[in-house]
A and B are shown apart, each in its own frame.
Chain A
Amino acid sequence: MLFFFQLLGGHKPTSGFWTFEYYESFFNVDTVQVLDRVKGSVLPLPGRNFIKHYLRSNPDLYGPFWICVTLVFSVAISGNLSTFLSEMGNPAYHYRPQFHRVTIAAVVIFMYAWLVPIGVWGFLTWRQGSERQIGAYSFLETVCVYGYSLFIYIPTSVLWIIPFEWLRWVLIVVAMVISGSVLVLTFWPVVRDDTKLMAVATVATIVVLHALLAVGCKVGERATLSCAAFISTVFNTRLILPRFFSFRCISSRQPSTYLHQLPPHRLFKHWSLNNTDHRQEVLAGRQEMKVVWNHRQKNYVSIIIQNSDYCHCEASDMSWDVCVCVCV
């Protein structure tokens, strides 16, 4: 619990979490600012990072909380109304308020709005290791952007009452595109420094989870849960067993741009000859080498020199997971 509070106040550790002022710092927004942020979540322009442009290191909890509450009630009410309208001609149908929808919607939406940002923030922090890059987001900013991105679903759920199937699917797709693009535009600059595979995988996961939420409200709980189970199985397999995936050499002709993004470690060359291990520092010059990033030791070590285009990570422990071909 203490860790959770330190998590929240990661950007403004002014007073302890037992004081009232600690929580007041999360509500330090004006009406104009909240409306501005809502507008930014509905109109995602490319190049406008939501966190950098609208939050500006003043994230708040007012927007996410009240947007989630409004969304819970609007989803429950519009679901009830659409059921009523679709069964209006049925003489055997007797109108029921269906109050249990509120409970289900509240559980699902609040779990999404809190657990997914925890997961995304934890994953991004782990990937960057101990390096505090400029693009790293605090936990509160992640929660904030997820909360504001849910705003577009409120008018969508209100328009759901109109009883045309094609219109409902169009509305869902439009809402998913807008809301997903807010998230993608926010998180892409952070993961883009990572390897392409992990970057694409991270962004794809964010988008898929968001789509699941939208589709889940439409088709019902059972179909969504089975779909979610399938996708998570695939994803966990991908994460747990990386050694069965071999990496292709990324490029051997564009070295300089990639090399500038590597941290300035010295590059060594290892090879074994006649059962003797050799190690040589790479000197500048035209050379082809394979470089591997070791997560445990946090340095680049080259393992194998090969002549072909493929390089396989042959180490057997889990600390090697990227294989980059660089021309120096």
Chain B
Amino acid sequence: MAEEASRPFAGLSDVSIPEDIPVEGDISVPVGASRRDDEYSTLDEPVKETILRDLRAVGKKFIHVLYPKRSSALLRDWDLWGPLLLCVTLALLLQGGAADSDDQGGPQFAEVFVIIWFGSIVITLNSKLLGGTISFFQSLCVLGYCIMPLTVAMAVCRIVLIGGSGTVSFAVRLVVVTASFGWSTFASTAFLADSQPPNRKALVVYPVFLFYFVIGWMILTFSPSQ
């Protein structure tokens, strides 16, 4: 064994390395997959890059809701950041109205939260029980993102209410809320419709309609404190 091992290095047995030449080199095995690994490993990137990537994904989904087409982009990469952001914004905007009265006032922060999340979960369970092929979190994602028109309407309503709370402002608010409610329902139906069995579509769409109707009602009846 020693003879076979020493034959390739036979000529080196009398080579001596002087001590003043530093021995250095790169002991690395060139593997072709290291490049691909670098793309997936996000441990080394700066924090700003991480946050921006998530924000870009959320923003892309907002644009999908603004121009709803029958696409599966919203369904493929679901995330719940957008719904959380919208829910917190909506609940905060619904505060500050009649806050001084005890129980005759508008919905509390927790009530808005519970209605939105619990309502979404119930609608998702309903669509799955009726035989839908959409997954649980995908459906939550779609329902949450489609609240965006209603949140925009809430912001518009608060701006209109600064100007006054007479009949004209009520008419403007009614038009805005109705339009955004229709937009929300249409957008969510465009995303959810393909995943339902064809003879049960109306059974799945009706709870979505009811859900956005209740949220629209909460927005419309928001009255600022005097």
Q: Which residues of A contact B210 (CB under 8 A)?
A: 66, 69-70, 73
Q: Is the CB of B103 within 8 A of A100?
A: yes
Q: Is the CB of B111 within 8 A of A31?
A: no
- Sorted nearest first, the 4 A-B pairs with minimum C-beta distance are A27-B129, A97-B221, A96-B104, A31-B202
- Contact mask for chain B residues 189-226; partner A; CB cutoff 8 A; 1 contact, 0 none: 00000000001111100110010011001100111001
Q: Does residue B96 face the partner (Cβ distance < 8 Å to A)?
A: no
Q: Is the CB of B223 within 8 A of A34?
A: no
Using a CB-CB cutoff of 8 Å, which residues 56-107 of chain A contact chain B? 62, 66, 69-70, 73, 77, 80, 94-100
Contact of B129 among A23, A31, A94 (CB under 8 A): A23
Main secondary structure of the interface of A (DSSP, over half): helix
- Contact mask for chain B residues 97-126; partner A; CB cutoff 8 A; 1 contact, 0 none: 010010111111001000000000000001
Contact of B131 among A24, A66, A94, A100 (CB under 8 A): A24
- Quick one: given A30-B199, A31-B201, A70-B210, are A99 and B111 in contact (CB under 8 Å)? yes
Q: Is the CB of B105 within 8 A of A99?
A: yes
CB distance from A80 to the nearest CB of B (A): 7
- Contact mask for chain B residues 126-157; partner A; CB cutoff 8 A; 1 contact, 0 none: 10111100000000000000000000000000
Chain A, interface residues (CB within 8 Å), range: 20 to 34
Contact of B214 among A66, A73, A96 (CB under 8 A): A73
A-B contact pairs, 6 of them (CB 8 A): A30-B199, A31-B203, A62-B130, A66-B206, A97-B222, A99-B106
Q: Does residue A204 face the partner (Cβ distance < 8 Å to B)?
A: no
5 more A-B residue pairs beyond the given contacts A29-B200, A31-B201, A66-B206, with a C-beta to C-beta distance below 8 A: A26-B129, A29-B203, A30-B200, A62-B126, A96-B98
Q: Is the CB of A97 within 8 A of B203?
A: no
Chain B, interface residues (CB within 8 Å), range: 20 to 34
Contact of B203 among A23, A34, A80, A98 (CB under 8 A): A34
- Closest residue on chain A to residue B202 by CB atoms: A31
Q: Which residues of B contact A31 (CB under 8 A)?
A: 199-203
Q: Is the CB of B103 within 8 A of A27?
A: no
Contact of B105 among A62, A69, A97 (CB under 8 A): A97
CB distance from B33 to the nearest CB of A (A): 40
Question: Once A and B bind, how many residue pairs between them come within 8 Å at the CB atom?
Answer: 66
- Closest residue on chain A to residue B214 by CB atoms: A73
Q: Does residue A219 face the partner (Cβ distance < 8 Å to B)?
A: no
Q: Is the CB of B130 within 8 A of A98?
A: no
Bound-state CA distance A98–B223 (Å) is 11
Q: Which residues of A contact B107 (CB under 8 A)?
A: 97, 99
Using a CB-CB cutoff of 8 Å, which residues 22-55 of chain A contact chain B? 23-24, 26-27, 29-32, 34
CB distance from A324 to the nearest CB of B (A): 48
CB distance from B115 to the nearest CB of A (A): 9
Q: Which residues of B contact A100 (CB under 8 A)?
A: 103-104
Bound-state CA distance A30–B103 (Å) is 41
Q: Which residues of B contact A32 (CB under 8 A)?
A: 199
Q: Which residues of A contact B203 (CB under 8 A)?
A: 29-31, 34, 62
- Closest residue on chain A to residue B201 by CB atoms: A31
Bound-state CA distance A179–B214 (Å) is 26
Bound-state CA distance A95–B213 (Å) is 20
CB distance from A252 to the nearest CB of B (A): 57
CB distance from A69 to the nearest CB of B (A): 7
Q: Which residues of A contact B206 (CB under 8 A)?
A: 66
- Closest residue on chain A to residue B111 by CB atoms: A99
Bound-state CA distance A98–B101 (Å) is 11
Bound-state CA distance A98–B106 (Å) is 6
Bound-state CA distance A258–B107 (Å) is 61
CB distance from A268 to the nearest CB of B (A): 55
CB distance from A26 to the nearest CB of B (A): 8
Bound-state CA distance A98–B217 (Å) is 12
Q: Which residues of A contact B201 (CB under 8 A)?
A: 31
